[in-house]
Amino acid sequence: MLLRASSEAIGEEAELDAAVGRGDGGVPHGGLLVAFAEAATRGSEELAEVRAQLLAAAGEEALVQAAATVGSFNGLVRVADSIGIPLDEGTRVGSGEFRERLGLNDFGGSRNTVLDVGDDVAAQGNALQDLLGR
């Protein structure tokens, strides 16, 4: 939702498929940015090579901004998932179409949100309770 809202604010169209490694997002150096984010998040052996390619293509400032963005989002998502923060109602309703299209409902953190009105929240579990064994 943030990407979509920020792209609308500057009059650009967001290509959300890049968020799950499909495409380049329609931005300069998008393919390298996606490869860098994936390699950094997964701790891939390819990280050094992708980092060097991004530095050569986009420059030091872009590399630093990309690293800061990856770190921020990685940390926020891990915290939210680990303590079981669900999507708020507005985000859940407003993001349903693209969550389904991108396969985001298949990620582990989705179990913290009742995605369908008929879902049983108790059956979905809670990440914090699972972590603490309660």
Q: What is the pLDDT of residues 106-127, one digit of tens each?
A: 887 888 888 765 544 444 455 5
Label residue 131 by pLDDT band (50, 70, 90). low
- What pLDDT shows up at residue 121? 45
pTM: 0.63
Residue pLDDT, tens place only, 48-107: 999 999 999 999 999 999 999 999 988 888 888 888 888 888 888 888 888 888 888 888
- Residue 129: per-residue pLDDT: 56
- Residue-level pLDDT at 14: 65
| Token code pair at residue 63 | 């590399």
Full DSSP string of 2-61? HHHHHHHHTT----GGGGGTSS-TTSTTHHHHHHHHHHHHHT-TTHHHHHHHHHHHH-HH
Angle between helices 60-83 and 47-58 (to 10 degrees): 130
Amino acid present at 22: R
Per-residue pLDDT tens digits for 17-41: 666 667 777 778 989 999 999 899 8
The domain limits of the chain are: 2-132
More confident residue, 6 or 85: 85
